[in-house]
Structure 1
Amino acid sequence: MPIRILIAKPGLDGHDRGAKVVARALRDAGCEVIYTGLHQTPADIATIAIQEDVDGVGLSALSGAHLTLFPSVVGELRSRDAADIVVFGGGIIPDSDVGELEAAGISKIFGPGTSLETIQSWVSETFVDRSSSR
């Protein structure tokens, strides 16, 4: 079975071009990708992730609210007994925030300028065992 990834835009950020580009790149790499659209709450994202039975959730933030929104998504997943869903993210995220996000349960942060190939490779390596055991 293919790797299933939810790409989500939490909060009030109105720019989704980067999220759509990543979604397309992951589809091109063989993943099944579900895109939530803009302005999703952490609770909405967790609900969709569980309903869609995804392996991972990719969050995109350009608004500066990543330190609040990304950990909130992890918390919502944990509260729904879905802590096994891997959360990763990207956007305009300062290097100085990465450690705090990782401590909050975000598996990987992709900053500005990360190549699509880097993201595709990380997803393939991270989820290879998960997709084969489904």
Structure 2
Amino acid sequence: MQTATQTKRPLRVVMTKVGLDGHDRGVKVIAQAFRDAGMEVIYAGLRRTPDEIADIVLQEDADILGLSILSGAVVPLTRRVSEALEKRELDDVLLIVGGIVTPDARQELSDMGVNGVFGPGASLAEIIAFARSNAPERSYT
């Protein structure tokens, strides 16, 4: 329950590409969909390292981190980002992964705790609904 001195800010989302993958059309489409849904979006760009990403999430006080990975390295790259988040005690940030994800990779990501995995054909409404339903609730004074 919110008091008069507490307000709820829009969800804050960091969107980025990890590793050497330079295909950014999809991540930009999702970023714009999140903006259109009223979320604050920080697009961190291409070719970020896991540590850079975790630092940006921390500095921006993000609720959600969206990774776009189109290479076959979705599991190891996501694992490295997840470890970088854990190292900074950012265990309350919702991690969403989008891109080319095989059924085996999807299972590995799920075993890692990443349940927001979206491949080609996922609807923008589905991704937005997942983000809203699973992001941590925070109030700010």
Does residue 28 of structure 1 match 2:53?
no
Does residue 88 of structure 1 match 2:96?
yes
- Aligned-residue Cα RMSD (Å) equals 1.1
Hey, what does 1:130 align to over in structure 2?
Answer: 137
Does residue 7 of structure 1 match 2:9?
no
Percent sequence identity is 45
Hey, what does 1:119 align to over in structure 2?
Answer: 127
Segments of 5+ residues of structure 2 without an aligned counterpart are 1-8
Shift of 1:54: 0.2
Once the two structures are superposed, the pairs formed by residues 55-94 of structure 1 within 5 Å of their partners are: 55-94=63-102
Shift of 1:124: 1.5
> Is 99-108 or 21-30 further displaced after alignment?
99-108
Once the two structures are superposed, the pairs formed by residues 90-105 of structure 1 within 5 Å of their partners are: 90-105=98-113
Q: Which amino acid aligns with 1:79?
A: K
**For the residues of structure 1 that align with 2:36 and 2:20, how far apart are their CA atoms?**
28
Structure 1 segments, 4+ long, off by >3 Å, are: none
Q: Which amino acid aligns with 1:48?
A: I
The structure in which a higher percent of residues are helix is: 1
Name the TM-score, length of structure 2 as normaliser: 0.89
| Bigger Rg over Cα | 2
Name the TM-score, length of structure 1 as normaliser: 0.94
Shift of 1:107: 3.0
Q: Secondary structure at the match of 1:49?
A: helix
Hey, what does 1:43 align to over in structure 2?
Answer: 51
Q: Which amino acid aligns with 1:71?
A: R
Segments of 5+ residues of structure 1 without an aligned counterpart are none
Q: Which amino acid aligns with 2:105?
A: D
